[in-house]
Chain A
Amino acid sequence: MSRQICVMGNSHVAALKDGWHAGIAPRTDIHPTFFGALSDGMATLDVVDGEVIPRDAKAAEFFRKISGTGGGVKVADFDAFVLAGMGFFPTPVFNNYRNFATPSTSHEASHFVSDAVIADTLWEGIDASMLMHCARVLRRVTDKPIYLAWQAFCSESLFEIEWRAEQMQPILDNGDQAFVHKMMALSEARLREEGFEILNQPEETLRDGVMTKAEFSRGSVLFRAEAENATAHRENDVFHMNSLYGRTCWNRWDI
């Protein structure tokens, strides 16, 4: 009997959804159902009449439609939950690298601060993210496993965007990928303390430790119901991954 998995999130769920539905299901021990809302629709997620669903009418409509169930999430129907995207990304670590060195980085920068300064900045963002709002709403109504999936690192095609290249290149030049992962691990520890489990980006999708290989982002599509035509993300969208990425996640994640 397959375990029923509820997958929720924003646009980043599209890769997982398409990865599951493209061809033969990647595994038989689980069966996912995909819920979500675009943009910040999930920020209004709540428990309404016993179902988990966004309070925002437009978001709720999308949420119902995307799953194909026509309703919200009945937590009793699922064995575990996966939350994806929704701001779970080490943005402050990348944004501040050039200007802030710490004891764990190997570069010179304008400011030298403790690791805690960057780690707390990252945690503060995650703590206030849409992802954590959803995770905590779910935790209120279930004690079943809740997995939080890091958003994939940006595609290596980011080098086609000048300012992104300028942000990434120093990390690579100084070999400070371990610093990025250390900051992420510190947030993960806090999340585990709160009773959540973490899903990391599959190793084989990584480029230089802190980017995603281009083949996993090329041709990514928008988060839409199956009946609708798949529409590609804008050119040079370095954030969204494709169905190959989603499928790789399903193959690798220990759920």
Chain B
Amino acid sequence: MGNSPKTSPYEDVPKRGYWRSGVAQQDPLAIEGIYRRKFRISRRDAIATAGSCFAQHIARHLRSRKFNVMQYEPAPRGMSAELAKTYGFGIYTCRYGNIYTAAQMLQLAREAFSISVPQDRVWERNGRFFDAQRPNVEPGGFDTAEQVLRAREGHLAYVRQMLLEMDVFVFTFGLTETWAHKESGTVYPTAPGTIAGSFDDDAYEFQNHRHGRVLGDFVKLKRLLKRERSKPLKSIVTVSPVPLTATASGQHVLAASTYSKSVLRGVAGELFETYRDVDYFPSYELITAPATRGMFFEPNMRNVTESGVNTAMAAFLEQHDPKGGAVKGKSKPAKTAAVDEGDVVCEEVLLEAFQK
């Protein structure tokens, strides 16, 4: 007796491949099989995190499970986690604040390896001076531009060290919209004038990066790291489920947000399909799936609830730390303050202050 021919190519599709059994009939708090790791990460692996606001949760949860999330720019001794967060300590592996776009991450890596230098590095506001690439980490700024550059020089040395030493790079894509210096192409994490600096139509322009640009920037980053590093690197990319606070695209913010997330999800998918050393973790889907009926968003329908974060991270840790069980609470305090609060730092929210 031979095998009978398939009646449909969907015949062998497992339960997780059907919407009804894979989503509609699933508990949204534990959607079975939504994430299957592409590679293993161990507690010995040096993990670096960067990206948009949501990436802060990933770092926090990995740290609570004793993964080796590196910290090159720790907070001063005696500083509380809350104050540390105000000054950008302990949020990511280095004190770079949120990196919303692939272009900004690439630019940072190029700067760290002395390949290029961004334009308009220092912004001024009311006689105080701020690092244009991370204006929020020193909320009161410095006395002089020279002090800003001295601080940046030290920061870049740590970023370089991080890029060379990390084994696993967790990057969360946040936005496609950005503001750039027209002449040089330098991109900024916030629009000039939002936190510091001032907006000049002649000098800056709005950019909404398309699939090719986002993908290209990340691939360039990969190539740069491959060239500079002497050991392999595994990357885990995610897409932030947090919608845009505001758009400068002229579109309705919902349409703009959907476009932005779609592009980023498309890029993440292509990276996952193309590269063996790039995994995609579907935090975006876990939070925004119709099955969740929006329950993972705070009343402002933008911020992700702690329950949503825990659900997403449970799916991640179920693959990378299955023996760890459910996500544990806060770990015992570290000697240096690590940001263990659920709340995240998000400069993009400052845009709301400009709403008339």
Name A's B-contacting residues (CB within 8 A): 91-92, 95-96, 99-100, 103, 110-114, 116-118, 120-121, 124-125
Contact = CB atoms under 8 A, between A and B. Distances in A.
26 contacts: A92-B76, A95-B77, A96-B76, A99-B76, A103-B147, A110-B154, A111-B73, A111-B154, A112-B153, A113-B87, A113-B151, A114-B141, A114-B142, A114-B151, A116-B138, A117-B76, A117-B138, A118-B76, A120-B79, A120-B83, A120-B87, A121-B78, A121-B83, A124-B79, A124-B80, A124-B83
B76 A116 contact: no
Given A114-B142, A116-B138, A116-B139, 6 more contacts: A92-B79, A99-B76, A112-B154, A113-B138, A113-B151, A118-B76
Given A92-B76, A92-B78, A100-B76, A116 B83 contact: no
Given A103-B147, A120-B83, A124-B83, A114 B78 contact: no
Interface SS of chain B: loop
A114 B140 contact: yes
Interface string B136-169: 0011111110010011011000000000000000
Contact of B78 (A95, A112, A116): A95
A114 to B, nearest CB: 5
B77 A92 contact: yes
Contacts of B140: 114, 116
Interface residues of B, number: 21
The 6 closest A-B pairs by CB, nearest first: A92-B78, A96-B76, A121-B79, A95-B77, A112-B151, A116-B140
Given A103-B143, A116-B140, A124-B83, A96 B73 contact: no
Contacts of A100: 76
A118 B87 CA distance: 11
Interface in B149-203: 150-151, 153-154
A48 B151 CA distance: 51
Contacts of B143: 103
A112 B150 contact: yes
Interface string B109-153: 000000000000000000000000000001111111001001101
Interface string B233-267: 00000000000000000000000000000000000
Nearest to A109: B154
A110 B151 CA distance: 10
Contacts of B142: 103, 114
Contacts of B78: 91-92, 95-96, 121, 124-125
A92 B76 CA distance: 8
B138 A114 contact: yes
Interface string B20-43: 000000000000000000000000
Contacts of B150: 112
Contacts of B76: 92, 95-96, 99-100, 113, 117-118, 121
